[in-house]
Chain A
Amino acid sequence: MTEGEIRQAVREALSNVAPEVDLSTIDPAKDLREQIDVDSVDFLNFVIALHKQLQIEIPEGDVAKLTTLNGCVNYLHAQLASKEGPRL
């Protein structure tokens, strides 16, 4: 999966928990939860949506890496790359 596709998947998962937010206004380096006013239930739903969409497990200890948009994309990219293995 390309980084662009991952970014899109993250945006979609975010839109589901915060449908009224204009995602283009989000600072990708800052905490998502503060910017789009989501609570712990919303955030859990967001993480579950990523897990389902991208078909990867997200260990509890890694959830802290998902709190910014950049953090999400970097983490998911690394996870998917190691799962997909070398491309032939």
Chain B
Amino acid sequence: MSEFRMPSLGADMEYGTVVDWRVKAGDRVKRGDVVALVETEKGVIEVEIFEAGVIESLVVQPGQKVPVGAPLAILRGEPGAKGQEPSAQRIGTAGETVVVVAPTTISAESRVTAEAQSSAPTAAAVAPSTARRAEISPLARKRARELGVDLTELVATRPNGAICAEDVERVAPKPAAAPQVAPPAKALDLAAMRRVIAAAMARSKREIPHYYLASSIDMQRALAWLAAENAKRPVTKRLLYAALLLRAVALALKSTPELNGVWVDEGFQASEAIHIGVAISLRQGGLINPAIHDVDKKNLDEVMVSLLDLVNRARSGHLRSSELSAGTITVTNLGEQGVQSVFGVIYPPQVALVGCGKMTERPVAMNGLLGVRPMIDVTLAADHRVSDGHRGGRFLLAVERLLQEPDKL
């Protein structure tokens, strides 16, 4: 048996509130399955599990706010199936030791009035004992959750002994309060998000000795290639130059691995995988930094699809925990807002940030003559504990070279 704990979904996250469970006792899960919706300061996030096994029981009820590290569910592992929870998930809480919170001490800060009417006063396992679990239909479980009915109190009326939704509705407290349905993207608590951003950025500047490098990159070839490509494609498959930038960064990182990874416990942990965080500003205010996984292994089309999907889900509040905790470097693209260059603040525990400025037509000397080319200022902010300017410079040079051959990206 093992405990599935509340993951840390970013620097300085301290608490999360389980909004809805996507699994129940008895469900088989595999690595990467979304098991719960958790509300954090960054909005509602789909939390994935990193071990395979069978859910033994759910420890925390929807509506309960628990600290990072608190057990959320008990998992019965399969032999040899234990996955490795990414270490990046635990980084955010500096100096934190794993807190095992006994169910009765979790504050019953339930926001859901329907749940409060349930007869189960503590965070007892939501599912009934193992002997009964096969006899309750999924719809009955859903209705029980919605109406705040304790499953252990149900009596089956069907001849086969299975509990159905009608059995739930019959015992539900009347009149039922507003049913607890899994919410769509909840309105963001902007003040809370701002506090989290403030803490992360303050920590970054306090702990990370930043150095900054800038490079102006000729984008003529990249744009010409992009225009020709897009002319052949239907609108639903078109590429943005942002996808070219992301691929160039991913490939350039292969030669400067000291920019790709996380700082943990006084040391740098290089990452073999390249998961690029994309800084996305939210329309209602706030900033979020979910990652596209394995950008080095994806082709341009796949990166583009991932980018669009990520931005859309970030804006509608449907991001997954692995996207928020897995970034090994971040790219921020403020050029569209009209700024010439971005000298950013590294997002801890990462060790580098690539900034892209506005594309402008500039006079350029080429072969002794004056020409005009579209250029972008690409900058690197990097952690001087891990890399030196020389290596940072090599990285920017690699990005520049890669962007001269867009067909190879």
A-side interface residues toward B, CB under 8 Å? 18-20, 37, 39-41, 44-45, 47-48, 51, 57-61
Contacts and interface: CB of A to CB of B under 8 A. Distances in A.
Contacts of B84: none
Interface string B208-249: 000000000000000000010011011110101110000000
Contact of A47 (B235, B241, B312, B337): B235
Contacts of B235: 44, 47-48, 51, 57-58, 60
Nearest to B232: A60
A41 B69 CA distance: 36
B240 A44 contact: yes
B308 A60 contact: no
A40 B336 contact: yes
Contacts of B311: 41
Contacts of B303: none
Interface string B281-316: 001100000000000000000000001100110000
Given A20-B283, A39-B336, A41-B242, A59 B231 contact: yes
Contacts of A19: 283
Contact of B236 (A18, A51, A60): A51
Contacts of A18: 283
Nearest to B226: A60
The 8 closest A-B pairs by CB, nearest first: A60-B230, A41-B311, A39-B336, A51-B235, A60-B231, A40-B240, A58-B235, A48-B236
B169 to A, nearest CB: 36
Nearest to A60: B230
A20 B319 CA distance: 21
Interface residues of B, number: 19
A45 B308 CA distance: 8
Contacts of A37: 283
B192 to A, nearest CB: 19
Q: Find the residue from A40, A41, A48 having the highest chain B CB count within 10 A.
A: A41
A77 B231 CA distance: 22
Q: Find the residue from A37, A58, A59, A60 having the highest chain B CB count within 10 A.
A: A60
Q: Find the residue from B227, B234, B284 having the highest chain A CB count within 10 A.
A: B234
B196 to A, nearest CB: 22
Given A20-B283, A45-B308, A57 B238 contact: no
9 contacts: A39-B336, A40-B242, A41-B242, A44-B240, A44-B308, A57-B235, A58-B235, A60-B227, A60-B231
B122 to A, nearest CB: 40
Contacts of A61: 231
A61 B231 CA distance: 7
Contacts of A51: 234-236
A47 B311 CA distance: 16
Contacts of B307: 41
B302 to A, nearest CB: 16
B308 A41 contact: yes
A33 B236 CA distance: 20
B188 to A, nearest CB: 12
Contacts of A45: 308, 312
Contacts of A39: 336-337
A57 B234 contact: yes
Contacts of A60: 227, 230-231, 233, 235, 238
Interface in B296-352: 307-308, 311-312, 336-337
Contacts of A20: 283-284
A51 B236 CA distance: 9
Contacts of B227: 60
B279 to A, nearest CB: 11
Contacts of B236: 48, 51
Contacts of A47: 235
Nearest to B227: A60
A41 B283 contact: no
B309 to A, nearest CB: 10
A18 B284 CA distance: 10
A59 B311 CA distance: 24
Q: Find the residue from A18, A48, A51 having the highest chain B CB count within 10 A.
A: A48
A39 to B, nearest CB: 5
A70 B86 CA distance: 50
Nearest to B333: A39
A88 B227 CA distance: 39
